[in-house]
Structure 1
Amino acid sequence: MVKLTRMFKSLLPLTALFVGSAFLLFAGGLNGLILPLRGQFEGFSAASLGLLGTGWAIGYVAGCLRTPALVSKVGHIRAFGVMCAMAAITVLLSLIFLTPYVWIPLRALSGFCFAGAAMIVESWLNERTESASRGRVFGIYTMVNLAATTCGQMVLTMGDARGFLFFVVAAVFYCMALLPTALSATSTPTALVSVSLDLRALWRNSPIAVFAVLMVGISNSTFGTLAAVYGARVGLTTSEIALFASIPILAGAAAQVPIGMLSDRKDRRLVLIGTGIVALMADLVFIFGGMTQPVLLIANVAVFGAAVFAMYPVIVAHANDHAQPGSFIQISGGLLLIYGIGSILGPTTAGFAMTSFGPQSLFMTTAFAHVLLLVFAVVRLRARASLPSAAKGAFQVSPIARASTPETAALAAGAPLDEGRRD
């Protein structure tokens, strides 16, 4: 009882940050699914809808890179307010201008704002969390974000995506994310983590981590952007599409723990190969299975999600096994930026392929990425001996990479605030 009381007291000052983050992720989950659905209803091509994902990834990477400098100039509260307000504006403008020529740059601006807002919340959490409770806080933060994203997607089952309601709801929740931090008495933190992309250093540290995270970025962003388009084109209802998009994320979150425990005991590259094979098998079922029943489609996509959304933390853990002490933030932040590059390439390729060859092209794209990942992993398995279990760091459960920032790595690392380079 005493421990429970202490835990409650330690978490109470962070409630405003958790609530603000939940509103932010709820709006992001809803916005990310309503756009491809509405675009499908408006007759947008799969290529243009794929470019929405490309725009988001470009904006998100830019947000991770540029937000620290912006915050250093105007402060956390002002920057956070601007990010949330601009994100809300982009949603409403998307409702006014129903054309991909406007939606794509708006989606890039939305990605920039979302990344910046998430970094600021995570910086606050990092500042206000004691070392002894950092793991608990990070776990709660991860669960809050997962639940909020899922709820944002599932709310689409409650109405018609052809109207204006869900755009307005997403904008409202972006604005609501402003309130907890604006009204909180929590002191603002120090400068944000700033991470540069050093490809040579990352490659020297772990070639497989660099290549694998690029392939996972291609695969996961392709699915995240175009899953709703695929679902609509194979005849799923709006409710079924929401399940088709959200269940894989839940399955991936659930799979992280057993897969992570296995990777702590075995060569992480072998675990990565195993999850890659499972993902490839799910890809092939979608391509050649000829399934039309919603139950079978959702069951197979759950297997797909359990594999693909558990890969990223295994890759990060493997890279950090070979890294120099104290470089966790630089390694994790650099891999996140490479994931972002993959997120730019994947939706574009798959979108144009779906326009030309049909909905199965989505999983042809992910299958191609998974095959390349498997081939490279086997090559690297022969080139470099495995580490003994005693030399490994502990596996860290993490949010999906799409919702991670360099500040996520800082919070997960339990590192002091002066570790790594800060602006």
Structure 2
Amino acid sequence: MFKALASISALLASVALLIVGHGLQGTLLPLAAQQAAFSDLAIGLVSSAYFVGMVAGCLAGPFVIRRGGHVRAFAALVSLMSAAALLHPVFVDPLSWFLIRVISGFCLAGFYMIVESWLNEAADNRNRGMIMSFYIVVLYTAMMVGQISVSFIGIDSFIPFIVASVMVSLAVIPLSLTTSTQPAPITIVRFRPVKLYQTSPAAFVGCLLMGLASSAVWTLSPIYGTQIGMTTTEAAYYAAAFIGGGVLGQWPFGRLSDRMDRRHVLLGLAFATLAIATAIALIEPRTPWIATLYVVAVGAVLQPAYSIAVAHAFDHATPTDYVETSSGLLLSYGIGSIIGPTGASFAMQTIGPSGLYLVVAGVQLLTIGFIITRLAARATPAPEDKRDFGPEATSPIGAVISPEPVTEDELAGQAVSGPA
């Protein structure tokens, strides 16, 4: 175990440094935009821009990596992301920030692809789950540290933008100096939504709706916090609590889905999210600690749904389609994530802070309705056709992670072609 972890220690160090900088920006930018008198809708559009860039990066990133190789592509993308962080205090207007966030999202998508292809290369049947588990722990821990760090730095100057840029820039050092073997060229697959929908309608539509709801809470929770009377520090902890709740819910709900039809688990999570979101919208939390407990609960039942939907799709996919299925579901999630912040910010601007959770509740109603129709249309998979829920399904990108090793003969059937 220690030998396997030592071989990827430099990679995990790069992940930790960059995600701290990314998490810092995730909380900083909505608060700084609010301080700069951006409207709620403008903040939502800027938040959606990040996911526009991420979807573009998922489609074009593999070509960048194949052209320059993993190390050079990594250095280029991280350098560009670092520069983008510094541009925020230079051009303080919604259009500029929209374009800057598109760049950041594109770079981060490429970053995840490089890191996860490297991890996939380092893993084998014996340690795949352990390696991916450590990766997920590092990822979420760094994200929360970055979000909370706003409370120590403040948002009244350009200093937090510099700190974010420095953390991202430092991420180049560990990976650039690693002696680990560079992975094989990344696999490029097509996005075929019709085929993906035919394979698993519940997973395809479910990921789209989950992206819509989850992205809205993740990007706008700092704004929600300040609008209900939280200080900047309290809003930063509130935003981090949503991620923390997701960490708490991933494994137990994932393991539960191994023992029954995963769609039943998705349905239960949607009902739970609907109940909590409706309660928050109708009975606005009066104290920061109660609000934080609420958002932990939302994170615990909302965020695991994506992982379970991915696992459900894998239950119906063939081994040669795992990579295409994973990347396709990610794109579906990304498209929903583009819509979520803009729609929720419009609701907040029109209704007030409760609009955020009314949107989340509305999305859950759509999810519940669709899953019920799918339960009536398709039988539960036989136990022998299901694969165990694994940590690789919780990956935020997963476009190049195969849930199980695929042989060279199986991969030979995947023609390398551009995104459709």
* TM-score normalised by length of structure 2: 0.94
Partner AA of 2:109 in structure 1: A
Question: RMSD of aligned C-alpha atoms?
Answer: 1.7
Question: Is 1:88 equivalent to 2:106 in the alignment?
Answer: no
Q: What 5-or-longer segments of structure 2 have no aligned partner?
A: none
Cα distance, 1:154 vs. partner? 1.1
The equivalent position to 1:285 in structure 2, one of 263, 279, 289, is 279
The equivalent position to 1:110 in structure 2, one of 101, 104, 108, is 104
Partner Cα distance (1:216, 1:398) in 2: 18
Partner Cα distance (1:238, 1:15) in 2: 34
Cα distance, 1:421 vs. partner? 5.2
Question: Is 1:340 equivalent to 2:331 in the alignment?
Answer: no
**Residues 211-290 of structure 1 mapped to structure 2, 5 A cutoff:** 211-290=205-284
Partner Cα distance (2:104, 2:405) in 1: 29
Q: What 5-or-longer segments of structure 1 have no aligned partner?
A: 1-6
User: Does the Cα contact within 8 Å between 1:263 and 1:271 map onto a contact in 2?
Assistant: yes
Partner AA of 2:234 in structure 1: E
Partner Cα distance (2:57, 2:221) in 1: 24
Output one character per residue of 1:174-223: Cα deviation in whole Å (capped at 9) or x when no partner: 10000011112223221113232111111111111111111101000111
User: Does the Cα contact within 8 Å between 2:245 and 2:295 map onto a contact in 1?
Assistant: no
- Count of equivalent residues: 414
Cα distance, 1:304 vs. partner? 0.6
User: Does the Cα contact within 8 Å between 1:216 and 1:339 map onto a contact in 2?
Assistant: yes
Partner AA of 1:309 in structure 2: Q
Partner Cα distance (2:254, 2:102) in 1: 33
Cα distance, 1:226 vs. partner? 0.8
Output one character per residue of 1:226-262: Cα deviation in whole Å (capped at 9) or x when no partner: 1111111111112211221111212212211111121
What corresponds to 2:28 in structure 1? 34
Cα distance, 1:422 vs. partner? 5.3
Partner Cα distance (2:70, 2:76) in 1: 10
What corresponds to 2:4 in structure 1? 10
What corresponds to 2:355 in structure 1? 361
Cα distance, 1:326 vs. partner? 3.1
User: Does the Cα contact within 8 Å between 1:135 and 1:414 map onto a contact in 2?
Assistant: no
User: Does the Cα contact within 8 Å between 2:218 and 2:242 map onto a contact in 1?
Assistant: no
> Quick one: structure 1 residues 209 and 223, their matched pair in 2 at CA, closer, same or farther if it must change by over 3 Å?
same
Partner AA of 1:134 in structure 2: R
User: Does the Cα contact within 8 Å between 1:14 and 1:125 map onto a contact in 2?
Assistant: yes
Partner Cα distance (2:178, 2:320) in 1: 32
The equivalent position to 1:143 in structure 2, one of 137, 159, 169, is 137
User: Does the Cα contact within 8 Å between 2:311 and 2:393 map onto a contact in 1?
Assistant: no
The equivalent position to 1:404 in structure 2, one of 383, 397, 409, is 397
The equivalent position to 1:25 in structure 2, one of 19, 36, 40, is 19
> Quick one: structure 1 residues 100 and 413, their matched pair in 2 at CA, closer, same or farther if it must change by over 3 Å?
farther
Q: Which runs of 4+ in 1 moved over 6 A?
A: none
Farther-moved stretch of structure 1 (131-140 vs 270-279) = 131-140
Partner Cα distance (1:416, 1:118) in 2: 23
Cα distance, 1:399 vs. partner? 6.9
Cα distance, 1:290 vs. partner? 2.6
User: Does the Cα contact within 8 Å between 1:157 and 1:239 map onto a contact in 2?
Assistant: yes
User: Does the Cα contact within 8 Å between 1:61 and 1:340 map onto a contact in 2?
Assistant: yes
Secondary structure of 1:95 counterpart = coil
* TM-score normalised by length of structure 1: 0.94
User: Does the Cα contact within 8 Å between 2:13 and 2:171 map onto a contact in 1?
Assistant: yes
Q: Percent identity?
A: 35
User: Does the Cα contact within 8 Å between 1:264 and 1:392 map onto a contact in 2?
Assistant: yes
Partner Cα distance (1:91, 1:308) in 2: 29
User: Does the Cα contact within 8 Å between 2:277 and 2:298 map onto a contact in 1?
Assistant: yes
Secondary structure of 1:97 counterpart = coil
Question: Is 1:318 equivalent to 2:312 in the alignment?
Answer: yes
Farther-moved stretch of structure 1 (413-422 vs 246-255) = 413-422
